[in-house]
Structure 1
Amino acid sequence: MRSETEAEAAAMHVQGGDSSEGRPTVGDAAARLAQDTAQLVRHEILAVQSELRAALRRIGAGGAMLGAAGGFGVLALWSAHETALRALESKLPGPRAPALLGCAYAAGAVALGAAARDRVRTGVQVSAEAFDEEDRSVADGPGISGRDGGPG
């Protein structure tokens, strides 16, 4: 049977702590910590990759469904256009029905384009103001004009 010191030395040797006194050195502990950290990082990277693959599969399926929905939407608009054109052709002679529909579509496009332009401009202004405010708070330093409103 081994003595207690020999058993402790053998255990330290198995754990990578072989020194002249039978005790682990700081270098051994640092090496073990580095090894454990690298193993943990590899494990976390693999977990993130797995989650990312699953999310991308869901996004891919959602994107395909969204594309199909867009296709069906175009077909529905085309059907509505044809219905409106046929209804107008019975009331307006010749090329007036398609011209009227074209003008209505153009007016809708102009109105939506103007509204979109205004929204984009507002968004750009708000973003620029937020960046300016952030630049001022960074330039002033912490605690002078923080977001929490407290004195620093």
Structure 2
Amino acid sequence: MRNETEAAAMRMQGDDPAEGRSRVGDAAARLAQDTAQLARQEIIAVQGEVRAALRRIGAGGALLGAAGVCGLLALWSAHETALRALEPALPGARASAVLACAYATGGALLGAAARNRVRAAGQASADALDRAREAVPAGVRRGEGEKGAD
């Protein structure tokens, strides 16, 4: 009878062991939810950064394609005009060589611009992944979790 009275008094004071386990379970569940939400937010942030980098790569590829098309059209339409304009001053072979050098210079400059754009996009992707790695603790990346957090 005395044990029952003491147990009832303890329950009234909030010292019920089952209630304590419930509070710890609730805290653990909240911690798990918060951790999952933080992980989702980080993944969304990294996805946004990767998408932006892919857009820059796409822009670099579009520039490269446009450079090729412009180069081809410029060669085709302007070559005949320039060749006809140079032929009175230079023999046919020299006029063609001068034009070829001009075309090569233009192609090299456009290609270098496209290369720089694509490299910058690749570096942005690498930077985004580095920031994501820094945001996740090393133990979590290895799957160890925290030691002694019982």
Same structural fold, with TM-score higher than 0.5 when normalized by the shorter chain: no
Higher RCO (CA 8 Å, separation ≥ 6 residues): 2
Bin of the TM-score, shorter chain as denominator length:
0.3 to 0.5
Query: Higher helix fraction: Structure 1 or Structure 2?
Result: 2
Q: TM-score, normalised by structure 2?
A: 0.44
Q: TM-score, normalised by structure 1?
A: 0.43
